[in-house]
Amino acid sequence: MLEPLWLAEDAAEATKGRLIGADSWMATGVSIDTRTLEPGDLFVALKDVRDGHDFIAQAFEKGACAALVSDPDKGSGLGPMLVVNDVLGGLTALGEAARDRSAARRVGVTGSVGKTSTKEALAVCLAASGATHASTKSYNNHWGVPLTLARMRASSQYGVFEMGMNHRGEILPLTKLVRPHVAIVTWIAPAHVEALGSLDAIADEKGDVYAGLEQGGVALVPNEAPSAARVLAAAEAQAGTIIRFGRGAECEARLLKFEMFDDHSIAEADILGRQIRYRIGAPGAHWALNSVAALAATDVAGGDLHAAAHALATFEAPAGRGQVVTIAAPFGSFTLLDDAYNANPSSMAAAFKTLGARTPGAGGRRIAALGDMLELGPDEAAYHAGLGPQLDGAADLVFCAGLRMKALWDALPATQRGVYAETAEALAPQLKDALRAGDVLLVKGSNGSRMFRVVEALKALAV
């Protein structure tokens, strides 16, 4: 039987809500989505893109123990309810209570690129030392962070929380809610520059993560990132201890050597005076510094450094985040590098290095299928066209989808061009027809470019 997460009376006390329908129930989980709700979950009827109150009946049909609502009339007679004035406020109150009742050491992660990968790696590293709770998927916004906190069990020893933003001022309330003992900024890149205007403004927003640190908390700063001086200044104003991570001799957590292979990476690093060599179970240039940050954060959070380094050998990149899949198609096998969840110039450069390090099979080629990078502002055409030189030597053929990616297509030499299409859906069948046995194919783009549709089409080729 699952450990209780919330008892009715504890949830009511935390939210200052009113119990109706039943005064006693036990939740083993918290859900905002009836599609993934598990029996025993507390269903939170959030009002976001859709009104969760419209799904209360479905939640109880799937086994919800109770529902957190603001409009009890919509769930009248269906099951136990916890009534609050505002559902998001109630969820946030649950998160605060979960934070305060647990002795878990909390690590907050943000950055323009690498935050989800670093969060996933941290979860693996810390789990080698004790019970670890972490954000699922990319639940890193105004409802994702309180949901992640509300799901943290009192017995957790470590908690890892990803924090994202689209506009100025969004990181601060998230970090104030989490109150991390350790906070990481992974990197600064022109993601969301359309909304924030400059790399300096992005650095200032990311640096706000340190403002939520517990007294004497630790700030990890990306030493060689653009606008790193502004991130460092934010850390100096808020943190008790600062750890710079990077390649420079001045870094307290320093990458000494990094090698990529087809199915893994090998790194050597100096972590706070201890030199270690370790294997990462996922290939990719971005793991060079992400792994150093994860290991340093694990160490200062009280985890076992060597156990964490050993655990990284078991790490596998999730779907859309650099996952490597071998697909046995009717024409033969090819390798898919699924990096379709997110993209900006910095993460594109890392992905191209990963592709360039791969060895195709007999008769195969290295191919990049690229979708639009979004939210890059007035210089978006230059950012897209600027990818061309980085693809030289990394990809034999390039396929492009999206109106923005047309700038890259126009800049490519004719010998490197595969196919251009205005949408990912239009590109998918042409890309499938062009593939052959032994190919290594990178698929990458911002989530809004829908390059995941290309990934779905490619995976459907498996026989």
The secondary structure of 35-79 as a DSSP string is TT--TTEEEE--BSSSBGGGGHHHHHHTT-SEEEES-GGGGTTTS
Ranges of H-type helices in 199-344:
199-207, 228-238, 287-300, 305-311
Question: Is the dihedral angle over the CA atoms 302, 208, 383, 120 positive or is it negative?
Answer: positive
Give residue 195's pLDDT band: very low, low, confident or very high (50, 70, 90).
confident
Average pLDDT for 233-253: 98
Query: Looking at this protein, which amino acid is placed at residue 27?
Result: A
Delimit the domains of the chain by residue range. 6-84, 102-314, 323-459
DSSP 154: T
pTM of the complete model:
0.90
- What span, in angstroms and rounded, lies between the C-alpha atoms of 270 and 263? 24
Q: What are phi and psi of 43, to 5 degrees?
A: -85, 125
Give residue 194's pLDDT band: very low, low, confident or very high (50, 70, 90).
confident
Give residue 22's pLDDT band: very low, low, confident or very high (50, 70, 90).
confident
- What span, in angstroms and rounded, lies between the C-alpha atoms of 420 and 431? 10
Q: Is the pLDDT of residue 463 over 90?
A: no
- Say yes or no: domain 102-314 is CATH 3.30.70.20: no
- What span, in angstroms and rounded, lies between the C-alpha atoms of 445 and 70? 38
pLDDT digits (tens, 9 = 90+) for 374-384: 989 899 999 99
Task: Let me know if 361 is exposed, middle or buried by CB neighbors in 10 A (0-12, 13-18, 19+).
Answer: middle
Of residues 113, 248, 93, the one with CA closest to residue 184: 113
Question: Is the dihedral angle over the CA atoms 79, 85, 88, 93 positive or is it negative?
Answer: negative
Asked if 6-84 and 102-314 have one fold, the answer is: no
**Confidence at residue 1, expressed as pLDDT on a 0 to 100 scale:** 59
- What span, in angstroms and rounded, lies between the C-alpha atoms of 280 and 274? 18
Average pLDDT for 62-87: 96
Q: Is the pLDDT of residue 225 over 90?
A: yes
- What span, in angstroms and rounded, lies between the C-alpha atoms of 316 and 461? 22
Q: Count CB atoms within 10 A of the CB of residue 354.
A: 24
Number of H helices, E strands in the chain: 17, 22
Q: Count CB atoms within 10 A of the CB of residue 66.
A: 26
Are 253 and 272 contacting, i.e. CB atoms less than 8 angstroms apart?
Answer: yes
Q: What is the CATH number of domain 6-84?
A: 3.40.1390.10
**Residue 66 is encoded by which pair of tokens?**
């109770």
- What span, in angstroms and rounded, lies between the C-alpha atoms of 64 and 80? 9
- What span, in angstroms and rounded, lies between the C-alpha atoms of 110 and 207? 9
Average pLDDT for 333-338: 96
Q: Count CB atoms within 10 A of the CB of residue 226.
A: 18
Of residues 377, 366, 335, 344, the one with CA closest to residue 444: 344
Q: Is the pLDDT of residue 193 over 80?
A: no
Mean pLDDT value across the chain: 95
- Say yes or no: domain 323-459 is CATH 3.90.190.20: yes
What is the number of residues in the chain?
A: 463
**Confidence at residue 28, expressed as pLDDT on a 0 to 100 scale:** 97
**Confidence at residue 191, expressed as pLDDT on a 0 to 100 scale:** 76
Compute the CA torsion angle 400, 404, 407, 413 (nearest 10 deg).
-10
pLDDT digits (tens, 9 = 90+) for 376-408: 989 999 999 999 999 999 999 999 999 999 999
Secondary structure (H, E, C), 357-388: HCCCCCCCCEEEEEECCCCCHHHHHHHHHCCH
Are 463 and 359 contacting, i.e. CB atoms less than 8 angstroms apart?
Answer: no
Q: Which residues contact 244 (CB under 8 A, 6 or more apart)?
A: 220, 221, 222, 223, 232, 250, 251, 252, 253
